[in-house]
Chain A
Amino acid sequence: MKDMLVQVEPLIPALRRYARALMRDRAAADDLVQDCLERAVSRWHQRRDGSVRAWLFTILHNLAITQFRQATARGRHMPIDDAGEQELVSAAAQEQRLIYRDVLSKLARLPEEQRAVLLLVAVEDLSYADAAKVLGVPVGTVMSRLSRARERLQQEMDAVGPRNVVALRSLK
């Protein structure tokens, strides 16, 4: 168990970040991470060789997907453009904050599978192979989803530059 504490504890902040970026709700995200940690503790001995980081993200990702499916089945939709961003950024300066808010709301408009791959690779620094493990798809699929995610996000960002958004929103 000592071994587990040493290996898992430093990864909790990253797990929280991934969960919150996916769920866009602080409480729901932390619940998910808690669930993930409980499973990790009880299944530590079943862990196969390989990166602990990829293993934990896999558990977390599967929990998130289950939750998304349940939410969809119940006919509820995850918030897209309203709530969420406020909680995501708190420390940054006002203008930077608006830019961040803007990129996050654009991220939220990506299909769930593209969003997940972009977060795992570009934010959580998982290797392509580890991201493939987490998502349960071949590396080739990771690459094509990553490419589509980036193209699409770029289109959105080019359509209305963050600067313009700042100007428009500041007028309000």
Chain B
Amino acid sequence: MNQRPITEDDLHAYVDQALEPERRAEVASYLDEHPDVANRVAGFANQREQLRGALASIADEPLPVELNLPHIIESRKRRPLWAWRAIAAMLLLGIGGLGGWTMRSVLQDGSNGLSALAQEAAYTYGVYAPDRVRPVEIRASDSAELTQWISNRLKQPVRVPDLSVSGYRLMGGRLVATSHGPAAMFMYDDDRGNRLVVLTRPMINRNQGTPMMPQSSGDVAGFAWIEDGLGYTLVGQLPTDTLKPIANEIRKQSRPI
């Protein structure tokens, strides 16, 4: 018989009962012929039994009130009164702060349309990033649908940037209205719950490319640029130094191949 050699991984998977029946039988007959290995494997299986036995009673204990899930859900529902006020306050502060930096960027560049885009991104961030219920309309799990919808509406192929190398996962996206027509918003988050927004739309003057413009005020920062006729902006409540490599990554990915 031409059998695949037995590996250490097979031995562990045997102990953890994670093998397909066929492979399991192969490992079992191998162990029959190799008592020393069988002995080791029996030791591992014994450890497993002892650990499970030692810890089993914890899972049988009645749950304390603090771990009552319906209560936890309920107390979140009852929170809105003050929570929404806090969010609204943060939103106002956020928009105030962002307004500051977009005003400054209007004064700085004005002509190529990036300032308008940056302002739109600021409003979009202010409205959707604090949203805990439905920050995005189409979730990352349906990203094919998202890409197609966005590309149709922007009338040109749009790629959703992949920021996983920077530690950010796509949450999803939506179409947002701007005074220059529809724009695509993509939202990302990391394990700590930091959210980033990328806003992109065709530029009116079809400018083929501009350098990346840094923008920041308070704890909100952003970068805006034009690549191949599409305007891009990345905003988040992170230092510019942290956002810069992420913006570079987006720019790299948005370049035509």
In the complex the two chains form, is A42's CB within 8 Å of B8's CB? Answer: no
| A contact patch SS | helix
Is B78 interfacial (CB-CB < 8 Å)?
no
Cβ contacts A32-47/B at 8 Å (1 or 0 each):
0110011001110110
A residues with a Cβ closer than 8 A to B are: 1, 4-5, 8-9, 12-14, 16-17, 20-21, 30-31, 33-34, 37-38, 41-43, 45-46, 48-49, 62, 88-92, 96, 99-101, 103-104, 107, 118-119, 121-123, 127-128, 143, 146-147, 150, 153-154, 157-158, 162
In the complex the two chains form, is A30's CB within 8 Å of B53's CB? Answer: no
In the complex the two chains form, is B51's CB within 8 Å of A122's CB? Answer: yes
Min CB distance, A26 to chain B, in Å? 9
In the complex the two chains form, is A5's CB within 8 Å of B50's CB? Answer: no
In angstroms, Cα B54 to Cα A107, docked, is 11
Total interface residues on B, CB under 8 Å, equals 43
In angstroms, Cα B217 to Cα A137, docked, is 37
Residues of chain A with a CB closer than 8 A to B69's CB:
5, 8-9, 12, 37, 41
Residues of chain A with a CB closer than 8 A to B53's CB:
92, 96, 100
In the complex the two chains form, is A147's CB within 8 Å of B8's CB? Answer: yes
Is B171 interfacial (CB-CB < 8 Å)?
yes
Is B257 interfacial (CB-CB < 8 Å)?
no
In angstroms, Cα B7 to Cα A111, docked, is 24
In the complex the two chains form, is B57's CB within 8 Å of A90's CB? Answer: yes
In angstroms, Cα B193 to Cα A1, docked, is 20
Contact of A16 among B12, B59, B132 (CB under 8 A): B59
Min CB distance, B153 to chain A, in Å? 23
In angstroms, Cα B132 to Cα A158, docked, is 52
Knowing A13-B60, A122-B51, A123-B51, the reply to whether A37 touches B18 (Cβ < 8 A) is no
In the complex the two chains form, is B48's CB within 8 Å of A89's CB? Answer: no
Knowing A46-B171, A48-B141, A122-B47, the reply to whether A127 touches B18 (Cβ < 8 A) is yes
Min CB distance, A62 to chain B, in Å? 6
Q: 19 new A-B pairs (CB below 8 Å) besides A5-B70, A49-B141, A103-B47?
A: A12-B69, A14-B59, A16-B59, A21-B58, A30-B66, A37-B72, A38-B72, A41-B69, A42-B76, A46-B171, A91-B60, A92-B54, A123-B51, A127-B18, A143-B8, A143-B9, A153-B47, A154-B40, A157-B47
Contact of B54 among A45, A104, A128 (CB under 8 A): A104
